[in-house]
Amino acid sequence: MPRTAATPGPRQQAVSWVASGRVFSALLLLGSLLALIYAFTNARFTIQQVEVSGADVLDINEVRTLADAQGQSIGYIDSAALVKKLKRSAYIEDASVRVGLPGTLYLQIVERRPELRWSSGGQHFLVDSSGRVLGAADSSAAITNTLVIEDQTARALQPNDAVDQDALGLARALALRLPAETGMQPISMNWSDERGLFVLAPDNKTVIFGKSERLGEKLTVLDTMLKQGTPFTFLDLRPKTPYFRNEG
């Protein structure tokens, strides 16, 4: 059948296809696919180096081990999954991930800060301000001028366990306010399920504060008793009418 004038020939179709940019788009797509395949399979584009920043409490090599990304193709790095993996550590509050070509992984971590030490079962634990147990404290590290709460329940603790958050805030407040407002220098801060937070002080004194509620009122009562010279060895400031006794 003869070709009609309305139907373009093969040459015209090819020219039209090139002019429309389809050839360029197809080549670009093909090039991109080849580049992806090259990046996914070439050893040059695997994670050869892991740079860690923000690690003060954690050892850098611990973070690298936790990430477990060495040798992986950069194309398979899932940033969200990697951040989730890093945050399994009780020490890591947040993290961000960046890949640098050809094969460097940059990890920026935000550590939870140990606010004080919580002592339980003869072992000291680092605890952040939310009450999260970060891990066992280094027994060789000096604890001079470090606030320590003695847990009288002697329970076993593990990283990511929670301790009484109110007790942490109350202990920090008492460490500052007790000497300043009452002149009392606490020997130790203690905590139990039954009593809450209580303080051991000179002259065999035990002062129970319980929770942080009505702290100003409790300090006023204690200051008044000390200034008046009221003899006591045990003072419970939890009730509205405080209870005390002297076993001296």
Domain boundaries, the chain: 44-111, 116-245
pLDDT at 187: 93
Q: Are strands 123-127 and 133-136 parallel, antiparallel or unpaired?
A: antiparallel
SS3 category, 73 = strand
Report how far residue 205's alpha carbon sits from residue 231's, in angstroms, rounded to the nearest whole number. 10
The chain-wide mean pLDDT, for the chain, equals 85
Q: Average pLDDT for residues 102-124, to the nearest whole number?
A: 88
Residue 95 confidence class, pLDDT cut points 50, 70, 90: very high
pLDDT at 44: 66
* 8 A C-beta contact, residue 201 and residue 189: no
For residue 48, pLDDT over 70 is answered with yes
SS3 category, 245 = strand
Per-residue pLDDT of 10-46, as tens digits, reads: 666 555 655 555 656 766 766 666 555 555 555 566 8
What is the CATH code for 44-111? 3.10.20.310
Q: In sequence order, which residues have a C-beta less than 8 Å from that of residue 145 and are 6 or more positions away? A: none
pLDDT at 8: 62
The token duo for 33 is 């696919």
Q: What angle do CA 89, 95, 97 make, to 5 degrees?
A: 120
**Between the CA of residue 78 and those of 98, 106, 111, 136, what are the distances in Å?**
10, 13, 21, 31
Q: Average pLDDT for residues 164-180, to the nearest whole number?
A: 92
The torsion of the CA quartet 49, 50, 52, 58, rounded to 10 degrees, works out to: -120
pLDDT at 15: 56
pLDDT at 166: 95
The torsion of the CA quartet 146, 152, 130, 84, rounded to 10 degrees, works out to: 100
Residue 143 confidence class, pLDDT cut points 50, 70, 90: low
Give strand pairing partners of 99: 105
For residue 226, pLDDT over 90 is answered with yes
DSSP string, 156-207: ---TT-B--HHHHHHHHHHHHHIIIII----SEEEEETTTEEEEEETTTEEE
State the pTM of this model: 0.68
Q: Which has more pLDDT, 18 or 181?
A: 181
For residue 234, pLDDT over 90 is answered with yes
Q: Average pLDDT for residues 69-88, to the nearest whole number?
A: 89
Report how far residue 98's alpha carbon sits from residue 166's, in angstroms, rounded to the nearest whole number. 38
What architecture is the 116-245 domain classified under in CATH?
Answer: 3-Layer(aba) Sandwich (3.40)
Report how far residue 56's alpha carbon sits from residue 53's, in angstroms, rounded to the nearest whole number. 9
For residue 206, pLDDT over 90 is answered with yes
- In this chain, the answer to whether the domains covering 44-111 and 116-245 adopt an identical fold is no
